[in-house]
Amino acid sequence: MDPKDRRQYPRFEGNFPVDVLNMGDDPTIGQWESVVPANALDLSKHGMRLKSHYNVNVGSLISVIAYYQHRDSVCLCEVVWKRPAEGEILYGLYVKEWSRLDPGLRAKLESMEMDALKSESSTRTSAALAIDSASSPA
């Protein structure tokens, strides 16, 4: 099964600039560097795929500022998985809480959720009709 199929919320794919707040978890990042630039490859209300030089362990909590249409949204994330990717690190993040979610990004994510629900409902209806017609006597 494709891992994307297990997601409850659809992901908004793109290349979003992100700042990760430096909490001192990565000894290669100077203590005076308060933010580490990164990129989110996709976003949802409860998840994010992040590419960064910032190196933290699975299970760590990190604060992320994501930018969409030049507006910022701030969230607290838990690192669920990580793996090396092209000289950087690719992370799967679980968004525990949005302390600020820009209205434009909120609207986009909610619109995608509604589209996914409509599509799922349509698929279920089609499947039910197919089962019903297959079990009906000819």
d(CA 102, CA 73): 5
The predicted pLDDT at position 56 comes to: 93
Question: 52: how many CB neighbours lie within 10 A of its CB?
Answer: 23
The pTM assigned to this predicted structure is 0.77
Q: Which CATH entry fits the domain spanning 11-101: 3.90.1150.10, 3.40.50.1010, 2.40.10.220, 3.40.50.1100?
A: 2.40.10.220
The mean pLDDT of the chain is 85
The predicted pLDDT at position 42 comes to: 95
Residues of the chain with pLDDT under 50: 1-2, 4
Helix (H, G, I), strand (E, B) or coil at 44: coil
Contact present, 54 and 77 (Cβ < 8 Å): no
Helix (H, G, I), strand (E, B) or coil at 31: coil
